[in-house]
Amino acid sequence: MICFSNAHADDALLQQVHQFLYQQTQSLGEEVVIDLRPPSPHLPPCVRPEPFLPNAGQSPLGRVSVGIRCGETHQQVRYLQAQIDVIGSYWVAQHDIERGTLITPDMLVQQSGNLSDLSSQALIDKADIVGKVAQRQIRSGSAFQNHFLQAPSLVERGQRVTVIAQGSSFRVSREGEALESGAQGDRVRVRFDTRELVTARVTEPGILVVDF
């Protein structure tokens, strides 16, 4: 769905931007409503328009700005305003969850609504919620937000850990002391008994890897 507030708007440009936004949002929910504000009539035509999202890492929900590169070499940039509403499903806490609790699937219940009404930090994908640790109390019926959760630590500061150095034709392991706590994928410093320091990637409980 697309709404125009100016009958003299550049229809071709708006249609292209609308299609771009639809491609970016169709996987988020069951219904997408896009309301585009047309460009100023005082602007020259946009040649070879190439839409883009200024905040590429953020889901385009609610009121957003859409960038458009214009010109043969895309040297000109202009912006349109859009309101994007997506009706879809998201997860909320089935009951109160205390701080420090490891989130499991039975703690979640699915709801449906306008995703643009949620916080920009809200997590919609179940895989981004389950297996994380609550960093604060989460009330029953509340949507899960990114800053509420943290990946569980697989390595604790001061813990004796195994560091594996591996390459295409070798694999060597050494034992050392973790100087920082870390979750899976985090890079932490490890000190060996020789006082040598190395930074390694956490892969599983008590195991870190140095890649060559």
Banded pLDDT at 7 (limits 50, 70, 90)? very low
Report the Cα–Cα distance between both ends of the chain, in Å, rounded: 51
pLDDT at 63 over 80: yes
pLDDT at 36 over 70: yes
Name the 3-class secondary structure at 142.
coil
Length of the chain: 212
In angstroms, rounded to a whole number, what is the distance separating the alpha carbons of residues 205 and 192? 18
Residues 173 and 198: beta-carbon distance below 8 Å = no
120-161 pLDDT tens trace: 788 989 999 999 999 999 999 999 999 999 999 999 999 999
In angstroms, rounded to a whole number, what is the distance separating the alpha carbons of residues 33 and 10? 20
- For residues 82-96, give the mean pLDDT: 93
- Which one-letter amino acid corresponds to residue 108? L
pLDDT at 60 over 70: yes
Number of neighbours of residue 168 by Cβ within 10 angstroms:
5
The helix (run of H) or strand (run of E) holding residue 12 is: helix 11-25
pLDDT value at residue 20? 93
Q: In degrees to the nearest 10, what's the CA dihedral of 105, 109, 113, 119?
A: -60
pLDDT at 39 over 90: no
pLDDT at 6 over 90: no
pLDDT at 41 over 80: no
pLDDT at 9 over 60: no
Per residue, the 3-state secondary structure of 76-95, as one string, reads: EEEEEEEEEEEEEEEEEECC
Mean pLDDT of the chain: 88
In angstroms, rounded to a whole number, what is the distance separating the alpha carbons of residues 193 and 158? 13
Of 87, 86, 92, 102, residue with least CA distance to 126: 92
Number of neighbours of residue 1 by Cβ within 10 angstroms:
10
